[in-house]
Amino acid sequence: MPEAPKHHHGLELVDRNLLTMTGVAKVETFDDREIVLHTQLGLLTVRGESLHIRHLDLEQGDLVLDGEVGALLYVAESRRKGSWRRLLK
């Protein structure tokens, strides 16, 4: 039986300008156009303009960001690693 995640993953996007998330485990990279995070349900990329992390609490798994959100993209961890292997061959 799979182990239950410590925190549930959820997100709320208000007017494409305020994104509140739970279940965030790690911030991989960030700048004002792209934020890459590890969540309880896989890798999440947030793309947009003028992105800014307003609040981050990795112990609780909470993140709040503002800016113009243009896209949210989930990628399974195993698929991401496989893509890198194919590129490096």
Q: Reduce the secondary structure of the chain to three states and give it as a string.
A: CCCCCCCCCEEEEECCCEEEEECEEEEEEECCCEEEEEECCEEEEEEEEEEEEEEEECCCCEEEEEEEEEEEEEECHHHHHHHHHHHHC
Considering the domain 10-88 in this protein, what is its CATH number? Answer: 2.60.40.2000
How large a percentage of the chain has pLDDT more than 90? 72
Question: How would you classify residue 61: left for phi > 0, otherwise alpha for psi between -120 and 50, otherwise beta?
Answer: left
Q: What does the alpha-carbon distance between residue 33 and residue 69 come to, in Å, rounded to a whole number? A: 9
Q: Has residue 85 got a pLDDT over 70?
A: no
Q: What is the pTM of this model?
A: 0.78
- For residue 73, what pLDDT is reported? 96
Mean pLDDT of 2-21: 83
Tell which wins on pLDDT, 83 or 24: 24
Q: Has residue 2 got a pLDDT over 60?
A: no
Q: Has residue 13 got a pLDDT over 80?
A: yes
- For the chain, give the mean pLDDT: 87
